[in-house]
Amino acid sequence: MQNQYRFFDDLARLANGAVGTLAGARNEVEVLFRQRLEAAIAEMDVVPREEFEVVREMARKAREENEQLLQRLEELEQKLAKT
C-alpha cells in the first residue's frame, strides 16, 4: 500500500516539476519575443505617440492660421477691387 502512495507522490512531483519547467520555458519565450519585437520596432524608425500628437497639434494650428490668413487676403483683395 505504501508503494502505491509513493508512486502517486512521485507522479505528483514529476507533474509539478513539468509544470514548473513549462512555466519557465514560457517566460523565456515571452522575453525572447518581446526582445525581437522591440528590435523590429526600433528598426522601423517609429515615432513615439507623444511626438506624433505634438506634430499633429502643430499642423492643426498651422491650418487654422492658414485659413485665417486666406480669409484676410480675400477681404483685402475685395477692398482693393472696390477702389
Q: What are 21-44's pLDDT values in tens digits?
A: 878 888 899 999 999 998 888 888
For 35-61, what is the mean pLDDT? 92
The pTM of the full predicted model, rounded to 2 decimals, is 0.48
State the first-to-last Cα distance of the chain, in angstroms, to the nearest integer. 116
b or e along 27-65 (b: 16 or more beta carbons within 10 Å of the residue's beta carbon)? Answer: eeeeeeeeeeeeeeeeeeeeeeeeeeeeeeeeeeeeeee
